Amino acid sequence: MLVSTNPHNGEHINSYATFNKAEIDTALNAANRQFQSWQRTSFEQRAQTLKAVAAALRNDKENLAHLMAIEMGKPLKEGLAEVEKAAWCAEHYADNAKSYLANEEIESDAVESYVCYQPLGSILGILPWNAPVWLAFRFLAPSLMAGNTCIMKHDPSVQGCANAIMNAFKSAMAPDNIVVNLPIDNTEVANIIKDRRIKGVSFTGSSATGAKVASVAGSVIIPSVLELGGSDPCVVLADAELEKAADIACLSRIINAGQSCIAAKRIIVEAPVYEQFITLLEDRLARLVVGNPLEHDSQIGPLARQDIQHNLHRQVSQSIEQGANCLLGGRLPADNPGYYYPVTLLTDVTPTMTVFNEETFGPVMCVCKAEDADAALELANHTVYGLGAAIWSKDLQQQQKFVEQLQAGQVAVNGIVKTDPRLPSGGIKNSGIGRELGPHGIRQFVNCKQVWIG
């Protein structure tokens, strides 16, 4: 059974039966058969379906936001915004897939030579709990518009959200089995990846699990896209617009109670403005409201699971023992049955400390001092991760230097690191391989076929 637990109070919500071998086989067959007809539909037909699904999402957004609140703790306001973003993603690919996948003529010794992009088949999406609707459509929309069918293996803890996503396709009267839900235990995933009916795998989750997924996918020679962990640096130089930088750094850090791969996790501040910037951060973080995600004034909900809460506290406690200065938070709530963690601000953090070296998944901000811009750049790149990074400076030369030398899949200059259906997103190093979103994302699960005509 797959169990959903309310992180606000630890109470049981629902249990969902897992598929047995026969049901798994039926689901894979259904998606594989549907591919034979779905791949032959026009872009216009696929777009019509995706736009109807987007409308169905919006019609059900109150329910979806409520499900996210009770299954993984996302405040209602954030949940409603997530549904809108998922619908936008579906509409974006409906409008742009045809141009993204248009034949590309390349001059050669042929009379005519070009590259065309054709779907592969049934693609497996292994999805996480932290943005259950958005991350599903980040996978579903480009894959479907490319002509693939999708097998959705969602996180065990958000099966209510998974069922609601399937209901959106049903409400939109989408063709049966272009998306198939696969409620299975995580231990079954390796066998699914190895199944000959799976032609590619998209995984979002931890770096450790991503390495296992990539290994299994490689063993059967199918493509994989991995969006993994991050310890994103946010570099603030002395000439930065400090008030705005503090606003955005705090927003980036506390979205989804800090449970985001691309959140600003290491704030690196140039020495001349270090103390001033800490004051700005502390003022903003201290005013945030932590509480029941179903209450509209709550800005930060609980963490999704107790093991996440305890691991986060271990990271904070170790870092304090290692010399970090705790200005806010840092203590487990003693009288709350839920999986809450206080907004925590750690300063004077160095590369020897746990919160600097490990990914922190929760509302914990760590601040490091850099003597100058070069030292800040070195600290930013001093990590095994390479997902996103931000640089705050008014100096155009410094901006360009950081853009060129930050080791990350995406860089934001004087702004927030975020995902956008129009732009590719992904990481390097332990943060993953491949890209999602934008024109690059839709080309991950297609046959890039070279055509030479003599």
Of 254, 267, 246, 204, residue with least CA distance to 362:
254
Q: Side-chain half-sphere of 348: how many Cα atoms within 13 Å?
A: 8
Q: For residue 207, give both structure tokens.
A: 């770096």
DSSP code, position 32: H
List 78, 82, 227, 436, catalytic entry: 227
The CA-to-CA distance between both ends of the chain, in Å, stands at 59
Task: Note if 250 is an active site residue.
Answer: no
Give the separation between CA 87 and CA 123, rounded to whole angstroms: 20
Count CB atoms within 10 A of the CB of residue 103: 11
List 261, 282, 358, 366, catalytic entry: 261
Of 216, 247, 299, 193, residue with least CA distance to 415:
247
Q: For residue 155, give both structure tokens.
A: 């996180």
DSSP code, position 255: G
**Residue 277 near residue 368, CB atoms below 8 Å:** no
Phi, psi of 39 (to 5 degrees): -65, -20
Q: Which are the contacts of 395, defined by CB distance < 8 A and separation ≥ 6?
A: 237, 239
Strands 104-105 and 112-119: antiparallel
Strands of 158-314 (E only): list them.
Answer: 179-181, 198-204, 224-227, 232-236, 264-270
Phi, psi of 287 (to 5 degrees): -90, -5
> Which H or E run includes 388?
strand 388-392
Task: Note if 227 is an active site residue.
Answer: yes
Assign residue 380 a region: left if phi > 0, alpha if psi is -120 to 50, beta otherwise? alpha
DSSP letters for 51-84: HHHHHHHHHTHHHHHHHHHHHH---HHHHHHHHH
Give the separation between CA 165 and CA 87, rounded to whole angstroms: 11
Catalytic residues: 227, 261
